[in-house]
């Protein structure tokens, strides 16, 4: 893979990771266009390129990330939260009874949404083969997931801007687990459930992206520590081939986030879903 090809893939990853259009399918198409052979180094590249898009999300939502960090500090070091939880169900459904600050609340929302899904994903990684093979079922699932998102997006009648309860956060987090199914987008799943619950498109995007931070970070660190030896070997050419594409992934990821958050203030997710359907139909005609 040449430096030009790696930069182009970085741009594709940066743009599509911020949209519910399946970045994986876009990368498959790009790999086919450039006739890039499947290899352990390429798989490492696909994982490591998420550093750029992850950084873009952190910078774009830096104020919310700062609130999460402040909430973490306050909850862990200044307040014994467990002593205040008398009933788990009441805690999940009525978080306001605990008189939490905004920082503590957003930290707990992300924590409750992320930790269970990370545990389940970790178990699945160690137990099952979660490779994203392309077949006719992937095509069906990818198109179906896009249609479901469009349905709930168009017919959602309410537009809540803040997470109503921790139970909502828990459910939104858990559905991320199903993103291991080939053809299913993690972002698309979160947006579908949040629109089903009645959250606004902007609020749905923001919370979905905040949840992506620990998920993407865990995926990168897992592959660095337990994946193939492309990272551990200290291969200078490998690292050089990844640094520049990550800069492009960061830049175009930030621009894509800027565009998507502006776009959904006035429009639905229909355009993104139509693109995903067309993309899946085309990708699977050239891959299968």
Q: For 48-102, what is each residue's pLDDT tens digit?
A: 888 889 999 999 999 999 999 988 888 776 655 555 555 555 555 555 545 677 8
Token pair in block for residue 130: 């979660």
- Averaged pLDDT, 179-198: 86
Q: Which residue has the higher pLDDT, 220 or 210?
A: 210
Ramachandran bin of 267, using left for φ above 0, alpha for ψ from -120 to 50, beta for the remaining angles: beta
Distances (CA, A) of 192 to 64, 73, 120, 265: 22, 32, 21, 17
Token pair in block for residue 178: 């199903």
Cα–Cα distance, 9 to 194 (Å, whole number)? 30
Cα–Cα distance, 119 to 117 (Å, whole number)? 5
Cα–Cα distance, 81 to 121 (Å, whole number)? 26
Say which residues have a Cβ less than 8 Å from residue 33's Cβ, sequence separation at least 6.
none
Q: Which residue has the higher pLDDT, 33 or 12?
A: 12
Write down the residue that tokens 């499947």 correspond to.
Answer: 38
Q: What's the mean pLDDT when you consider all of the chain?
A: 81
Token pair in block for residue 44: 């490492």
Q: Which residue has the higher pLDDT, 81 or 141?
A: 141
Q: How confident is the model at residue 244 (pLDDT cuts 50, 70, 90)?
A: confident
Q: How confident is the model at residue 161 (pLDDT cuts 50, 70, 90)?
A: confident
Condensed to tens digits (0 to 9), the pLDDT of residues 166-181 reads: 889 999 999 988 887 7
Whole-prediction pTM value? 0.84
- Averaged pLDDT, 183-193: 88
What is the DSSP secondary structure assignment for residue 35, as one 8-state letter? T
Angle at which helices 3-16 and 23-33 pack, to 10 degrees?
Answer: 160
Four-point Cα dihedral 80, 82, 86, 87, nearest 10:
150
pLDDT of residue 251: 94
Token pair in block for residue 250: 């960061």
Say which residues have a Cβ less than 8 Å from residue 164's Cβ, sequence separation at least 6.
197
pLDDT of residue 218: 85
Q: What percent of the chain is modeled with pLDDT above 90?
A: 28
């Amino acid at each position: 893979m040449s430096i030009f090809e790696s930069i182009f893939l970085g741009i594709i990853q940066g743009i599509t990771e911020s949209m519910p259009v399946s970045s994986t399918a876009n990368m498959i198409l790009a790999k086919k266009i450039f006739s890039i052979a499947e290899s352990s180094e390429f798989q490492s590249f696909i994982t490591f390129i998420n550093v750029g898009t992850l950084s873009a999300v952190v910078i774009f939502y830096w104020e919310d990330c700062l609130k999460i960090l402040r909430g973490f500090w306050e909850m862990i070091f200044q307040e014994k939260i467990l002593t205040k939880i008398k009933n788990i169900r009441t805690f999940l459904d009525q978080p306001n009874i605990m008189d939490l600050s905004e920082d503590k609340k957003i930290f707990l929302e992300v924590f409750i949404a992320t930790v269970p899904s990370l545990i389940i994903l970790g178990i699945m990684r160690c137990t099952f083969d979660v490779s994203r093979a392309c077949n006719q079922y992937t095509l069906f699932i990818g198109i179906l997931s896009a249609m479901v998102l469009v349905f709930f997006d168009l017919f959602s009648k309410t537009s809540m801007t803040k997470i109503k309860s921790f139970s909502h956060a828990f459910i939104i987090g858990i559905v991320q687990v199903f993103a291991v199914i080939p053809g299913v987008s993690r972002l698309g799943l979160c947006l579908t459930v949040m629109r089903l619950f009645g959250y606004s498109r902007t609020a749905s995007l923001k919370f979905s992206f905040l949840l992506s931070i620990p998920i993407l970070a865990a995926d990168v660190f897992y592959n660095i520590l337990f994946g193939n030896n492309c990272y551990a070997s200290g291969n200078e050419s490998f690292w050089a081939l990844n640094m520049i594409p990550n800069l492009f992934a960061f830049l175009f990821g930030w621009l894509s986030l800027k565009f998507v958050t502006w776009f959904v203030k006035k429009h639905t997710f229909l355009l993104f879903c139509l693109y995903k359907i067309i993309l899946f139909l085309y990708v699977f005609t050239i891959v299968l």
